Amino acid sequence: MAVNIDFNKCIYCMACIDQCPFGSIKDEGGKPVIDSSCRACGICIKNCPASAISLETREKTDLSAWKGILVFGEFLNGKLHPVTIELLGKANELAKKCGESIYIAIIGKNCQSAADEISHYPCGKVLVYDCCEFEYYRADVYTNALEDVINHLKPGIVLIGATPVGRSLAPCAATRFRTGLTADCTVLDVDENGSLAQIRPAFGGNIMAHIVTPFTRPQFATVRYKVMSPAEKTNESAKIENRTLPAEKLASKITALNASPKEEVLDIVDSERIVVAGKGVKTQADLEMISDFARSIGAQLAGTRPMVEAGWIHANRQIGLSGRTVKPKLIITCGVSGAVQFVAGMKSSDTIIAINTDESAPIFSVANYAVKGDLYKVIPKLKQAFSDYERRL
């Protein structure tokens, strides 16, 4: 759907400009013009005294005009987010199936070195928007830049990391193009026509939803960090194209007053060893036994959603669909049943050891090593086994 102005009825009172809550209607030479930031909310339609504004069905998109895969390279605080490399890995898989090109867009201040770095990964072209207005993430100017690169390339698919920045930017850009967006995808596939199958858990992980965007382009999808396999560097170097935006597109309605660095803490997402506490832990005091075991083997402590809801573990240590997605070299679950929501956040781990008294627990179906037993008896023995092994080394 799109908002249209009938200039045979318009009396040029400009009331629509004042009424628009998004500033999407501009005065261009005494004529009201609706830009791509319009949300089609209908407020201008209700308040037009001449009934000159209406909501109309858009013409069907020419899907054949949209080709290629665009990856948004998230650049903040002087470096690329590693999810970019994972998105490139998935883009490379998809491109091989449909025979299309891969592009990367990097937006930021002093991001040229990041463009040089990413150009050695499998892609056809790196497009760079490097200026001081992109020092901080501001949704409006970042969306203007992404809109510019999409209009320039007309990619059929746009992949964005499901980071705090990506979760803000992706819906803004999808709204600009009146197209679909699937968030937090766990599986992506593509056919020879470039139609993207976007698969993600839904209804609390009880079903896997298969989502397609059949009538509009581009097809937007966000993907969590640590879900896809990263791309590998190549011996070739992609072409780098520097692009600029006109001054009015760099003028933000958001003013960054100051910024202070957040204290860096080791996120469980980056941990190579993780020990997870589940409902099998009887009391909060007993959690110290699990925490002590984790420390003894150089692992980070994590938990399931019930542990977080009970207030025993901080929310930033929750694994699952509503928490973190992890991919450590080793993960040991203690008293975790293995609900679908939890498993979706850790099933890609290299080695999974599960401890549970219930031999039919779902966690055993994804574990590399299943230990049927009481965690209160198993953990002390496992801690001693790790200690003996490391002494032998």
Supply the mean pLDDT for the chain: 93
CA–CA dist 76, 55 (Å, integer): 39
How much of the chain exceeds pLDDT 90, in percent? 80
What confidence tier does 139 reach under pLDDT thresholds 50, 70, 90?
very high
Q: What is the pLDDT of residues 202-215, one digit of tens each?
A: 776 677 889 999 88
Q: What is the pLDDT of residues 222-248, one digit of tens each?
A: 999 999 999 999 999 999 999 999 999
63-250 CATH fold: Rossmann fold (3.40.50)
pTM assigned to the model:
0.81
Q: Which of 38-42, 52-56, 306-310 has the highest mean pLDDT?
A: 306-310
Q: Which residues, at least 6 apart from 29, have a Cβ–Cβ distance to it below 8 Å? A: none
CA–CA dist 166, 134 (Å, integer): 15
DSSP letter, residue 318: B
Give the pLDDT score at 200. 87
> Which among 182, 249, 267, 169 has a CA at the least distance from the CA of 222?
182
| Arch. (CATH architecture) of 2-56 | 2-Layer Sandwich (3.30)
- Please check the confidence at residue 40 and state whether its pLDDT lies above 90: no
Give the pLDDT score at 321. 85
CA–CA dist 253, 228 (Å, integer): 35
- In the chain, where does the domain assigned CATH 3.30.70.20 lie? 2-56
368 token code pair: 């590399």
- In the chain, where does the domain assigned CATH 3.40.50.1220 lie? 268-392
- Strand 219-223 relative to strand 207-211, pairing: unpaired
CA–CA dist 43, 46 (Å, integer): 5
Q: What is the pLDDT of residues 248-285, one digit of tens each?
A: 999 998 998 888 877 766 689 989 999 999 999 999 99
The matching CATH number, chosen from 3.40.50.1220, 3.50.50.60, 3.40.50.300, 1.10.3720.10, for 268-392 is 3.40.50.1220
Strand residue runs (E) in 122-250: 125-130, 157-161, 181-185, 187-190, 196-202, 207-211, 219-223, 239-242
- Strand 273-277 relative to strand 330-334, pairing: parallel
What confidence tier does 192 reach under pLDDT thresholds 50, 70, 90?
confident
- In the chain, where does the domain assigned CATH 3.40.50.620 lie? 63-250
- Please check the confidence at residue 36 and state whether its pLDDT lies above 90: no
- The stretches of the chain forming alpha helices (DSSP H) are 15-19, 43-47, 83-98, 112-118, 139-153, 164-176, 247-250, 287-296, 305-309, 340-343, 375-392
Q: What is the pLDDT of residues 313-330, one digit of tens each?
A: 999 999 998 899 999 999
Neighbours of 50 (CB within 10 A): 15
State mean pLDDT over 89-98. 95
- Please check the confidence at residue 27 and state whether its pLDDT lies above 80: yes
